[in-house]
Amino acid sequence: MNRYRRFTQICTLILSNCYILSGLKYCPFPIMNCHACPLAATACGIGALQHFLTIGAFPFLVLGIFLLIGSTIGRLLCGWACPFGFFQELLYKIPMNKLTFPQWTGMFKYLIFLVLVVLLPMVVQEPWFCKLCPVGALEAGIPLWIKDEGIRQMIGPLFHVKFLILYGLIYLMMITERPFCRMICPAGAIFSLFKKISLFRVNGVPDKCIPCNKCTRRCPAGVTPISNDCVMCMNCVGTCKNVWAGMNPPQRHRDTGKSEK
Amino acid sequence: MNIIKQYLWIPLIVLGIGFITLGILRAEYEKVYSNAAFICLSCIGIEEAY
C-alpha cells in the first residue's frame, strides 16, 4: 500500500509542478502546493479561498470543490496526493530523537483556519495565511529569491518572519510526524470536518481499541485512524482487525451498533 | 441519527456540485486564474504587495 501511495505522491508532485499544464490554474486544487511557485501548474485552494474573501465575494467554486472532495473521499488527498505532506514524510526519515505531540495540538489548525484564512482576509483584505505560509516560502520564496534580482531588492521583515516559520517547521518535521498537517494545515482542517460523514472513510472501532499503538506506529501522521488528524494513508488497515477502510463499517462492526463514536 | 450521518455525504455532494456549477456560471475560474497566474508577492513574503 505504501508503495502505491509513494507513487501517487510523486505523480502529484510532478503534475502539480509541471509548468506546461499551467492552464490548470483555472481550477483551485485543495492540496498544499503554492501557485506562486515558478513551476506550479495548479491554483492553491486556500490561496484562492482567501482571494475571494479579500475581494468580498462568496467563493462558490472553491467551496464547491472542497465540499465535493471532502464529502466523497475526506482527507484522502492529504495522505495520497499532497506534495507538502510528502516532503514532511521524507524529512521525518532523517534519524534524530523523535517526539510525539499531544493530540490536542491538532486543534490549532482550526484556529489558524478561522483567524488567518477566514477572519483576517475578510476584515483587513489581505491574505494573511499566504503571507505566513511556509509552503509559499519553500516553493515560491526560495526559487524566486534565487532567480529574480527585483524580488531580492523588495525583501522586508515579513520575508524573514516567513522563513523563520519555515525553519522552525522543518526542524519539527524531522522530530515529529507531519506537524504541518496536524497543527497548521487549513485544507486539512476543512477536510477533517468530513471525517465521519464522507462516502469513503478510514476508521476504527473505539470500543474495541486496546491501546497497542500498532496503528500509530505505521501512521505517517502518528495518530490513530479514529482521530480527526488521520490522513487516510491506509497503512494501518492491515495491522488491526478493528481498523477498516471503505464506504461503510464491515458487518461485524455494525452488529455491535458502536462502530463509530 | 446514525442513518443521517451515514448518508449525509449525498446532500453534501449535491451542494458541492451546485456550488461548482454556480461558480462556473459566475466565471469564478477567471478570478482564480488571475490570482494564481501572476507572481503572488504575499506568497513569497513581500509586504509591498498591497
For chain B, say whether A219 makes contact (Cβ under 8 Å): no
Which residues, 6+ apart, have CB-to-CB distance to A171 below 8 Å?
A: none
> pLDDT digits over A196-213, tens only?
899 998 888 878 888 888
Q: Strand pairing of A43-44 and A201-204? A: unpaired
Domain extents in chain A: 2-192, 201-254
CB B45 within 8 A of CB A37: no
Q: Please give the pLDDT value at position A84.
A: 93
Burial of A191: CB neighbours in 10 Å, binned 0-12, 13-18, 19+: buried
Using CA coordinates, name the residue in chain A closest to B18: A64
Neighbours of A251 (CB within 10 A): 8
Percent of residues in chain A assigned helix, strand, coil, to nearest 5? 60, 5, 35
Q: What share of chain A has pLDDT > 90, as a percent?
A: 52
pTM: 0.90
Tell me the ipTM for this assembly. 0.90
For chain A, say whether B14 makes contact (Cβ under 8 Å): no
Nearest-Cα distance to chain B for A98, in Å, is: 30
**pLDDT bucket at A255, cuts 50 / 70 / 90:** low
- Cα separation of A114 and A108, whole Å? 10
Chains A and B form CB pairs within 8 A to the count of 158
> pLDDT digits over A94-107, tens only?
998 988 888 899 99
CA angle A71, A72, A76 (to 5 degrees): 100
- B4-33 burial, b at 16+ Cβ within 10 Å, e below that, comes to eebebbeebbeebeebbeebeeeebbebbb
**Which whole number is the average pLDDT over A147-166?**
88
With a cut of 90, say whether residue A1 has pLDDT above it: no
Burial of B3: CB neighbours in 10 Å, binned 0-12, 13-18, 19+: exposed
Sequential pLDDT tens for chain B (50 residues)? 678 888 899 999 999 999 999 999 999 999 999 888 877 788 888 875 44
Half-sphere exposure of A100 (CA within 13 A, CB side): 11
Neighbours of A96 (CB within 10 A): 11
Q: Do B22 and A126 touch (CB under 8 A)?
A: no
- A200-229 burial, b at 16+ Cβ within 10 Å, e below that, comes to ebbbbbeeeeeeeeebbebbbbbbbbbbbb
Using CA coordinates, name the residue in chain B closest to A28: B32
Residue whose C-alpha cell is 478570478: B31
For chain A, say whether B4 makes contact (Cβ under 8 Å): no
For chain B, say whether A63 makes contact (Cβ under 8 Å): yes
